[in-house]
Structure formats: structure tokens, C-alpha cells
Amino acid sequence: MSLNCYSGVLAVCVMIFSSTFSFQQDQPTVLLLSFDGFRWDYIYKVPTPNFHYVMKNGVHVKQVTNVFITKTYPNHYTMVTGLYAESHGIVANEMYDPVLNKTFSLNSKNIYNSKFWEEACPIWVTNQMEGHKSGAAMWPGTDVKIHGVFPTHYMFYNESVSFEDRVAKLIDWFTSDEPINFGLLYWEQPDAMGHILGPEDPRMGAIISEVDDKLGYLVSELKKAQLWDRLNIIITSDHGMTQSSSERVIELDQYVARELYTMVDHSPVVAILPKEGKLDEVYEALVNAHPNMTVYKKEEIPNRLHYKHNSKIQPILVMAEKGWEILQNKSDQLLLGNHGYDNILPEMHPLFLAHGPAFRKNITKEAVSLTDLYPLLCHLLSVNPLPNNGSFSNVEDMLIGELPGDAHPICCEQAPYAYFVGVLLGSTLVVVFLLVFIKHLTYSQLPNMQVQHSEISQPLLQG
Ligand SMILES: *[C@@H]1O[C@H](CO)[C@@H](O)[C@H](O)[C@H]1NC(C)=O
Ligand SMILES: *[C@@H]1O[C@H](CO)[C@@H](O)[C@H](O)[C@H]1NC(C)=O
Ligand SMILES: *[C@@H]1O[C@H](CO)[C@@H](O)[C@H](O)[C@H]1NC(C)=O
Ligand SMILES: *[C@@H]1O[C@H](CO)[C@@H](O)[C@H](O)[C@H]1NC(C)=O
Ligand SMILES: *[C@@H]1O[C@H](CO)[C@@H](O)[C@H](O)[C@H]1NC(C)=O
Ligand SMILES: *[C@@H]1O[C@H](CO)[C@@H](O)[C@H](O)[C@H]1NC(C)=O
Ligand SMILES: [Zn+2]
């Protein structure tokens, strides 16, 4: 072999390695954005040019079935695990774990107790275990150490930090020398005002317009940073919102004494822990108490809710009908808008839009489940999904290169396949090159080696 041939082989190796390396550098990036409490139909209430801009250039899903209970923490954890609440363990915003004898409640430090989160493994942990970097701006749970890990970059939860500051951090992380491939962004509106005003209040129009402005700001900042065209962005929410009223209040005090139970989670789906030995008494007192309230013993909770198999689900669950609130008495705070109700109700369903190089443009899809978001994210990030309750085949027709109803995820298998072939071919050529090169260098020492060989082989032959 001539030296030219060696360099030829070397050049091919370098080419293949650099192309696999640049595949890594041009790693697909994903931004997951949640506007808390953004009901699916808010984009039709008032002009929302920025949401419509994303829709026209991306994917819009009309009906997203979120998980029961339709509250913030359970659904945000579903988005990043693909699991129903009974399986990921964040079964409510307010919980009691009888095994740990510990409570979990939104406005308290006990949400930082890792044990509550570790029945599941969120996607940022998996993403980082596969060698990538994640960055989170206030997404629920991202400032908690879960399985010993925080996101590579994260912000301590502080509702006073502006949307603009959260966006600035994310753009820093996406454009740094060691960029993240996965960002999570959370914003408290329109949920916070939705609770105060109620979704039917005309003043909600201005709140929705403000959220549209926030989206517009994000898009323009991403364009400035030259990220917009290469980022896959998913804009969604945890749940919707429905109108309540002081005329639709059920007072538990009228039916059962407070001393008989602890109210673990609050309206509109009340989790009741009866005092020792009082289960049947509390159940009997409530079961036929009010026509707009359904009472279940834990084991009777309908299977379709996937809300039974967890020790943090309490012995009695009391569910209000849409628009009704369950209080102990009228001194308890009444919200004019609420969510948490049955996830079959369209009013509880969130918005879902997707945009970016991986997504088809200007398409509308009828329905997905919020659990399907996780396999979609794993596909976009090229990470291996953990066991989950979602289905990639429900979302693959959103993607470029996927045929609707095609049973085989072509795109899903092609990218890792090409990468694998590249690595295999590259390393084979390097090994061949090195073998030939070493052989060439050691050619003059070959007689020596043969002597050594025979010396080594002799005792073996004798043994
Ligand atoms: C549970 O914890 C509380 C204090 O938070 C304590 O008073 C109670 O005795 C504990 N119960 C059990 C069964 O350990
Ligand atoms: C929360 O953010 C606000 C606004 O940036 C800041 O003034 C405040 O000090 C922060 N609070 C904490 C506890 O960090
Ligand atoms: C509440 O109960 C009344 C009486 O049974 C019934 O007419 C009404 O439809 C119920 N409301 C809802 C939202 O289910
Ligand atoms: C509600 O219950 C609390 C605690 O028992 C009591 O202090 C309050 O007066 C009650 N309010 C009404 C409107 O009955
Ligand atoms: C989007 O699709 C609709 C029909 O599906 C079509 O009427 C409209 O012109 C398309 N818009 C763009 C910008 O391609
Ligand atoms: C959801 O997924 C988990 C993990 O694979 C599994 O244990 C559970 O049984 C699934 N739930 C349903 C209702 O299929
Ligand atoms: Zn809320």
C-alpha cells in the first residue's frame, strides 16, 4: 500500500467521523412551552395573531384529552413522563402520602421532598443520562432534585420573575457553547386570572390578548437569536377552565361533621381521608347528599379515569359536576373559575400547537391524549422513552416524512439507523487503517515478533 492510499483511507475516516460529529452538533432542539390554564378554544375568543401565526405554519390539535384530575401538577408531570397520575404519583396539587406520613401542597416547601416525584423519571433526567443538556424556566418540578438530578440549567420557582426574563435565560442556554437540546418554559397565565374572573367574564379577553403578546415576544426573540427555524416548539397547557358561581356551591358541613375526616385536596374534586374507623360513616353521609356531586370509595373510581392505583389517592373521592364547587362552608374561598373536573369535559381540555423543522405545516389534527406528548418529545430528542401510557403512533402524522396512518415510524428508525451505520463504517475503516498502518510500521520488526511468538507458543504446546 502506498502512502496515498493510507491518507485516502484516513480522509474517508475523518469525513465520516466529522459528519457523525456534526450530526451531534446540529442536534435536534425542542422547546416545550406551557401557558397554564389555556383552554383549547381561547384562541377563538379574541384575536390571537401570534397563536394563529404558529397554527398556520405548524400543527394544531383540536381536542387534547388531559389526565384526571385536571389540575396543574398532575398534568405537567404527565407531559414530561407520559404517565397517568396514578402511575407518576403526582396525583394532585395537594396530597398526603400515608406511607411517608407527609403532605405535599403547592404553597409550601414540602413540594421539594423528592420522594413525591420519584415514582416516575421525567424526560429531562433521561435526556441528561443520554448525554444531552436540559434547561428549565419555572416548569413545575424542575427545581426539585429527582433521582439525584436537577436539570442542567434551571430557575428556582418565583412567580415574580417576568416572562421576558424566563425567555432570556432559555435563549442563553440554547445558544451557549454547550447548548441545551431541550428547554421547558412555564407561564402562570391565563390560569391565575381565569380563577379570579371566571372564563366567561368579558375581561378574560384582555388576559388572553396579553398571553398572545407573550407568545409574539418569544417568537421574535427566537428569530433574533436565529433559533426559530431550527427549533421544534410545542405550545400547550395543562388544562382548561370553567365558570363557577356562588349559586352552585355544595357545603359538606351540611352533611358530615368536620371532625370525622381530613380534607386532603380541594374543590372541585375533594380527596377525603376519614378518621380511623369512620370510612363507612363518612361515605354513607355523602353518597346521596347532593345531585351535583358524585362520591366514590377509592376502589369504585371508574377505570377510565386511571385514578385508583396509588397510595396517595385517598379512601373517598368526591367529584363535583361541571361548574359546581364543593366547600366545607361558605366561608371557604370560592373561585369564579376552576378546573380539576372530569377529563372527559371539553372545557377541561388544553390548547396544543407545534411548529418547527420536524413538523408539517398548516395542518389540523382532530385529537391526541396528553400522554402522547412524551413519546413525541422522546422521538424529537432521540432519547429512549421509558414505559409510558402514550402512543407514538397517535402523533407521528404531525411529523414531516410520516404518512398519516402509517404503522411504521420511518423517520424514527431512519435517523438512528443512519447514525449507527456512519459510526460502524467509520470505526471499521479506522480499525482497518490502524491495522494496516501498524503492520507497515512494524514490518521491519516482524522477524522479532515471530521469534517472540514461537517463544510464547512453546510452553502452551508443552502444557
Ligand atoms: C405523622 O406525622 C405527624 C407529624 O407530622 C405525627 O404527629 C404523627 O404521629 C405521625 N403519624 C404516624 C402514624 O407516624
Ligand atoms: C423573585 O423575583 C423577583 C423579581 O425578579 C425578585 O425581586 C425577588 O427577590 C425574587 N424572590 C426570591 C425569593 O428570589
Ligand atoms: C345538577 O343537578 C340537577 C338536579 O338533578 C340537574 O338538573 C342538573 O343538570 C345538574 N347539573 C349538572 C351540571 O350536572
Ligand atoms: C364555617 O366554618 C367555620 C369553622 O367551623 C366557622 O368559623 C364559620 O363561621 C363558618 N361559616 C359559615 C358561613 O357558616
Ligand atoms: C392552510 O390550509 C387551509 C386549508 O387546509 C388553506 O385554506 C390555507 O390557504 C392554508 N394556508 C396556508 C398559509 O398555507
Ligand atoms: C401506564 O404505564 C405504566 C408504565 O408502563 C403501567 O405500569 C400502567 O399499567 C399503565 N396504565 C395503563 C392504564 O395502561
Ligand atoms: Zn389553576
Atom of ligand 3 nearest to the CA of 323: 13
Q: Cα of 332 to ligand 4 centre, how many Å? A: 8
**Angle, CA of 165, 169 and 170, to the nearest 5°:** 120
> How far apart are the CA of 18 and the centre of ligand 4, in A?
72
pLDDT, average across residues 250-260: 98
Cell numbers at 177, concatenated: 457553547
CATH for 249-338, among 3.40.50.2020, 3.60.20.10, 3.30.1360.180, 2.40.110.10? 3.30.1360.180
Confidence band (pLDDT; 50, 70, 90) for 259? very high
Across the range 407-428, mean pLDDT stands at 46
Lining residues, ligand 4, CB within 6 Å: 329-331
Q: Residue 401: its pLDDT value, please?
A: 81
Q: Strand 231-236 and strand 29-35: pairing? A: parallel
Nearest Cα to 194, choosing from 141, 157, 240, 138?
Answer: 240
Cell of 25: 452538533
Query: Span 291-301, mean pLDDT?
Result: 98
What is the position in ligand 5's atom list of the atom closest to the CA of 56? Answer: 13
Per the residue annotation, which of 65, 72, 78, 81 is the catalytic one?
72
Rg (CA), the chain: 28
Nearest residue (by CA) to ligand 2, atom 5, is: 161
Task: Judge contact between 140 and 73, C-beta under 8 A.
Answer: yes
User: Tens digit of pLDDT for each residue in 12-71?
Assistant: 333 344 334 434 446 789 999 999 999 999 999 999 999 999 999 999 999 999 999 999
Side-chain-facing half-sphere of 211: CA atoms under 13 Å:
32
Domain extents for the chain?
1-26+418-451, 29-83+120-242+343-398, 249-338
**Cα(first)–Cα(last) distance of the chain, in Å?**
40
Alpha carbons 238 and 71: distance in angstroms, whole number = 7
Residue that wins the pLDDT comparison between 105 and 5: 105
For 448, the grid coordinates are 522479532
* pLDDT at residue 247 greater than cutoff 60: yes
Cell of 285: 353521609
Percentage of residues of the chain with pLDDT beyond 70? 81
Asked if 250 and 325 touch (Cβ cutoff 8 Å), the reply is yes
What is the mean pLDDT of the segment spanning 180-205? 98
Mean pLDDT across the stretch 142-159?
Answer: 98
Mean pLDDT of the chain: 87
Q: 3-state SS of the chain: helix, strand, coil percent to 5? A: 40, 20, 40
Question: Ligand 3 pocket: which of 243, 244, 290, 292 to mutate (most atoms <8 Å of CB)?
Answer: 292
pLDDT band at 424 (very low <50, low <70, confident <90, very high): low
Whether 9 and 434 have beta carbons less than 8 Å apart is answered as no
To which H or E segment does residue 364 belong? strand 363-369
How many Å apart are CA 406 and CA 276, to the nearest integer? 55
CA 173 to chain centroid:
19
The span from the CA of 244 to the CA of 339, in Å, is 10
| CA-proximal residue: ligand 4, atom 14 (nearest) | 329
Q: If you search the block for the grid coordinates 352533611, which residue do you land on?
A: 255
Q: pTM for this structure?
A: 0.84
Q: How far is CA 228 from the centre of its chain?
A: 21
Q: What pLDDT was estimated at residue 453?
A: 36
Nearest Cα neighbor of 157 from 144, 174, 168 is 144
DSSP letter, residue 350: B
Mean pLDDT, residues 168-190: 98
What mean pLDDT is predicted for residues 231-245?
Answer: 98
CA–CA separation, 363 vs 262, rounded Å? 48
**Each residue of 330-385: pLDDT tens digit?**
999 999 999 999 999 999 999 999 999 999 999 999 999 999 999 999 999 999 99
**Residue with CA closest to ligand 6 atom 13:** 306
132 CA to centre of own chain: 16
The reply to whether ligand 2 has any atom less than 6 angstroms from the CB of 160 is yes
DSSP string, 199-268: TTSTTHHHHHHHHHHHHHHHHHHHHHTT-TTTEEEEEE-S---EE--TTSEEEGGGTS-GGGEEEEE-TT
| Interval 69-93 mean pLDDT | 98
- What is the tens place of the pLDDT at every residue in 263-278? 999 999 999 999 999 9
Active site residue 72: yes
8-state DSSP, 384: P
Q: Which atom of ligand 6 is nearest to the CA of 84?
A: 1
What was the pLDDT predicted at 442?
Answer: 43
- Determine if ligand 5 sits within 6 Å of the CB of residue 57: no
Helix (DSSP H) and strand (DSSP E) numbers for the chain = 12, 18
Q: Which CATH architecture has domain 29-83+120-242+343-398?
A: 3-Layer(aba) Sandwich (3.40)
Residue 190 has pLDDT above 70, yes or no: yes
User: In the structure, what pLDDT confidence band is assigned to residue 107 with cuts at 50, 70 and 90?
Assistant: confident
Containing H/E element for 337? strand 337-338
% of the chain surpassing 90 pLDDT: 80
In this prediction, residues 310-323 reach a mean pLDDT of: 98
DSSP designation for 321: P
